[in-house]
Structure 1
Amino acid sequence: MPSIRDVAKRARVSTATASRALRGLPSVTAETRARVERVAAELDYVIPFNASSLASGRTNSVGIVVPFVSRWFFGTVIAGAEAVLREAGLDLVVYGVPDAAGRARFFDRMPVRRRVDALLVLSLPLTAAEAGALRALRVPVVLVGSTAEGIPSVRIDDFAAATRAVRHLTELGHRRIGLIGESDPPPHGFTTPGLRRNGYLHALADAGIEPEPGLEAAGGFTAAAGETAMERLLAQPDPPSAVFAMSDEMAFGALRALRRARVAVPDEVSVIGFDDHELAAALDLSTIAQPVADQGDRAARLLLDQLRRQAPAADVVLPVELVHRGTTGPAPAAR
């Protein structure tokens, strides 16, 4: 097995310089670092974990705390972050907190202590105690999809995005607009459903439409629950002519329910989702496209900037885009 001395000798630098270059430490020129990294790659040299940790005080790992590992949104964010971290030579350690008990256990025990160099937290609105526990780790922390004082974040403007989706429907002449959202209260105290519902209500108010509680149904952010929610909306005495689903997966379920009920889309009912899921285009679903993988990418880069002390903490709000496809059209009355 090649040693750090072999790398140093071939790169024509001291052993100490080779070690600093490979561990990303300062006081090494860019030219020297590139030469050492090239030689290390040629020799298939990898820094021993224990030696690297003892020398630098680092674990070369980044932790990510996520409520639902198997869901498309979270998996896509993780994939975006992992690509950046892998390129930087860092490993990703995933901590799932799928329920209240798991979340409480995580923040009580803080299993990431001394095991990671930085931490990403996905879509979990933090309590004051949880935020304090993360600050006490004294490692860089970045939030995705939520905010907390003193902790940098990457997110979208869910309120404005939902407003834009529903405004698309009102501009098409729809007056009876249903909402497929989340249960109340939402799991984990998620703030995204509330922000998107407020956007829905705001767009209705802008159009002079009085909201109707009977036109709202919980879809649980899954296709199966979205299908059930659409069935409940169709069972109303006066069903909606359009529906805003807070996620594409719920919209997929809604489209299935409409197809089973032989309701034409968009001639009888229009449907717009949220996310631009990888299957949205295949189903010709109108949606709000948010940069899901880019949120993981940007969050990982914020962590790297902090680890390298290259930039101050930031709060990044990424743009969204309305994608008009075949599931939304003029209201039947307007047509």
Structure 2
Amino acid sequence: MPTAAPLLTPADLHGRFTPTRGHLDAATAGLPMRATVRALRDHVDAWQRGELDLARCDQDVVRSRAAFARLVGVDASDVAIGSQASVLVGLVAAALPDGAEVVVPHGDFTSVVFPFLAHADRGVTVRHVPVEELADAIRPGTAAVAYSLAQSRDGRIADAAAIGEAAARVGALTVCDLTQSAGWLPVDASAFDITVCSAYKWLTAPRGVAFLTVRPTALARLRPLHAGWYAGHDIWGSAYGPHMRLADDARRLDVSPAWPAWSGAVPALETFAATDVEAVRRHDVDLADRLLTGLDLAPRGSAIVSLPDDESGTARCALEAAGCRVAGRGGGVRLAFHVWNDADDVDRALTALRPHVRAVAH
């Protein structure tokens, strides 16, 4: 019996990116692997020559769906594809009954929250509570709890186990956004009724590649609002009406793919599906915690770090002047460490940050 290939390490992944110093912003947008850049160029070249192979385009989607399924521990039949997280969360919001209550973390990313707020006209109410209090906030009558596993603003990790247990006691749907976690934090999507994930951050795919996972028991609750030929039981046999037969599994929720993005997604997703994600977590968190301890701050155990900044963005400007790519978020400066980063990136950031973070903090 053949032995399984060893899982890829962060060092293996590091070598698949073009060397780039100071990119501490995976939480905004990941860097593309060299293989992704080649795949995108090949796709555009074939398009320009009039030689685009649509069967190959379909295979890019099939391979990407399968790779994502392996990464998050579900069957490919439980995975739907889309373009953006908010589009997929919108399917869940539209499925809730009039007057439903939804619980979300205060300050979560709006792609998780706005789709539910948009249904206020039919009585859907949204309660905002601190992410640490989500489990306690779920009560009889709560229809759904929706949250990002890792918070975009500051990298706090929600207690998914406690939230899941509380939701199960009252029959509430669990809707989890994996956009800021899949790729660096080990994830088991089968623990949630529904997950969504945009793959252009930690999974380093082109923007326009997103996934939804759904438990078979929850699939019937979701109306395929975006149903088109790509959601058909037979994709290429579903191009014309008048009769509709959708796929029996999660593919019935598919949004027709933007082909170039999926060509670039294949090498990225297949690489992460073959990676030791726990090793990636240790690598990323070790770098983030090294930054914090270098600033005399307590480690936080997340790949995402939020630090105080003044209204002028002094700390962020100092980082940018030192050659660091970061983001201003939630009144602070946000840094995110991933597989292309190393200790030199931490030292560069520390040199820039020390005088400014301490001045703001104290």
TM-score between the two structures when normalised by the length of structure 1: 0.31
Q: Kindly indicate whether structure 1 or structure 2 has the higher relative contact order, using CA contacts under 8 Å at least 6 residues apart.
A: 2
Given the two structures, how large is their TM-score scaled by the length of structure 2?
0.29
Whose Rg is larger? 1
